[in-house]
Structure 1
Amino acid sequence: MSIYFVSGIDTGIGKTIAVGMMARYLVHKGVNAVTVKLVQTGNDGFSEDLDRHRELMGTGKLAVDEAGLTAPAIFHFPSSPHLAAKLEHRELDLGKIESSIAELDKQFDVVLVEGAGGLAVPLTEDLLTIDFAAEHNYPLILVTCGRLGSLNHTIMSIEMASRRDMKIAGVVYNWCPEADPLIEEDSKRMILKYLHRYYQPEVLVELPEVKEPLPEPDFGAIFDGAVPKR
């Protein structure tokens, strides 16, 4: 599969950093990879999340960024897309989003689609983020961390995806400064247990603190088959 859907288990979980670091890993492995922001809210003009991706990838803005393919829906108000669109008296153009992703899929080996917030965030009044991803049969990458409360959100996300017959390609376990070490270690154990319970690949990649010099985590288990063997 060349298109992966990346969702955080909640807002502020470090999803944008994780997406940028996964794209960086792929590019350094010789994979022609790009990231997409499914819907960007709280912005005008260009997506700040994509700016962070490109910074981590070390590429600067790409031609597909300038063409608007990687941020096909941008809204000013920082909220779930259904409300941000309503406040601007606009409808979310799902067809434009789908055609942008399809065009990027033609140009790149791997496309990482970053969602807005968690899986149950409404894109429209009648369509949740997870429903959009499931309809397109995208493998899911979940981003979580060890802060208190995250285990609940992670297990619910695993169950939501599994009940929609989505494959979870892997879980990225983000560094979290306020995490209790005991909770952090037990959460990793429990996440793997519930992946197993729902017949999902037991893949968990730890992402350390992202600061200079940038770490080089191995995301190979998530992108099995997408990275050329050397």
Structure 2
Amino acid sequence: MNYLVTGTDTGAGKTFVTSGLVRFSRSRGIDAVGMKPICSGDNLDVQKLREACDSCEPEFVLNPIWFRTPVAPYTASLIEDRQIDLNALRKAFTHLAQRHAHVLVEGAGGIAVPIRSDYDYRDLARDLHLEVVIVAANRLGVLNHVRLTEESIRVAGLLCRAIVLNSVQPESDISQTTNHCVLESLIDVPVLSVEHGQTDFSTLTGLLWSERRAAKPQLQATPNSQKEAKERI
């Protein structure tokens, strides 16, 4: 099974959760890999995803489209006068999906962030047949952000498989102790909490793909060269 990992906002902790889940899964023999189809600004997120899979794939496969300007993908494409090639995204994803049991596709910002004027991450999830995981910063305001995001996913005809509350900062308000239980009472989607620096993602791993584990292929070797990987896509 493959997933889109989206956020309620920039800085919610998508890369932390995605890379942590990939690293933990692979340590348990589950062949998971993460990709960031479009990256803007620095590429630290992509480097973390690649490190999490022990550099099992070249960077250009994990991140087929990169912009220098640190803004939303569509805005970056306008500034740099370069349209986003959707076929390049699909080809990179297909390459990974054929070689690995599970692919986590990390979005940019939130679910409705535009990729083109008429295409956003909801459309990408539909095209790639992805279920969705929401990562949200556990702080005041998250109830509204999560409910709006989950509703947008549901209305788009997509399935939200899990909501991950990420404690991105030390407890600073009482909502951090109540958000989890309140969200569980409001939304019919599993809610999990993770702490900053957490390395054990066993609960999330079990939720996302444990029942499909029996059908997984063995971990595959790293390509001999970037040329070999390019030929495959």
| Alignment TM-score > 0.5, same fold | yes
Question: Which residue type is aligned with residue 85 of structure 1?
Answer: S
Q: CA deviation at 1:52?
A: 1.5
Unaligned runs of 5+ in 1: 197-201
**Which SS does the other structure have where 1:225 is aligned?**
helix
Q: CA deviation at 1:227?
A: 3.7
Of 121, 130, 133, the match for 2:125: 133
Q: CA deviation at 1:217?
A: 2.9
Task: Give per-residue Cα distances to partners, 1:161-210, cap 9 Å, x unaligned.
Answer: 111221111111111325445312322123223332xxxxx322221121
Of 73, 76, 79, the match for 1:84: 76
Of 175, 182, 195, the match for 1:190: 182
Residue in 1 that maps onto 2:20: 21
**Which SS does the other structure have where 1:96 is aligned?**
helix
Question: Which residue type is aligned with residue 49 of structure 2?
Answer: H
Structure 2 CA distance for aligned equivalents of residues 12 and 23 of structure 1: 19
Q: CA deviation at 1:97?
A: 0.2
**Which SS does the other structure have where 2:19 is aligned?**
helix
Query: Structure 1 residues 94, 110: closer, same or farther in 2, change over 3 A?
Result: same
Structure 2 CA distance for aligned equivalents of residues 34 and 40 of structure 1: 17
Alignment of 1:50 with 2:36, yes or no, is no
Q: CA deviation at 1:224?
A: 3.8
Q: Which has the higher strand share?
A: 2
Task: Give per-residue Cα distances to partners, 1:84-138, cap 9 Å, x unaligned.
Answer: 1111111100011011101110000000000011011111111122222134331
Q: CA deviation at 1:74?
A: 0.3
Residue in 2 that maps onto 1:171: 163
Question: Stretches of 4+ moved more than 6 A in 1?
Answer: none
Alignment of 1:72 with 2:64, yes or no, is yes
Question: Which residue type is aligned with residue 147 of structure 1?
Answer: R
Residue in 2 that maps onto 1:9: 8
Structure 2 CA distance for aligned equivalents of residues 85 and 117 of structure 1: 16
Aligned-residue CA RMSD (Å): 1.9
**Which SS does the other structure have where 1:123 is aligned?**
strand
Unaligned runs of 5+ in 2: 216-233
Residue in 1 that maps onto 2:211: 225
Residue in 2 that maps onto 1:121: 113
Question: Which residue type is aligned with residue 99 of structure 1?
Answer: K
Task: Give per-residue Cα distances to partners, 1:138-177, cap 9 Å, x unaligned.
Answer: 1000001221222211110110011122111111111132
Query: Structure 1 residues 225, 133: closer, same or farther in 2, change over 3 A?
Result: same
Task: Give per-residue Cα distances to partners, 1:12-51, cap 9 Å, x unaligned.
Answer: 11111111111112112211111110210013xxx32121
Contact 1:26–1:227 (8 Å) recurs in 2? no
Structure 2 CA distance for aligned equivalents of residues 176 and 166 of structure 1: 27
Residue in 2 that maps onto 1:37: 36
> Structure 2-normalised TM-score?
0.84
Residue in 1 that maps onto 2:199: 215
Structure 2 CA distance for aligned equivalents of residues 142 and 79 of structure 1: 21
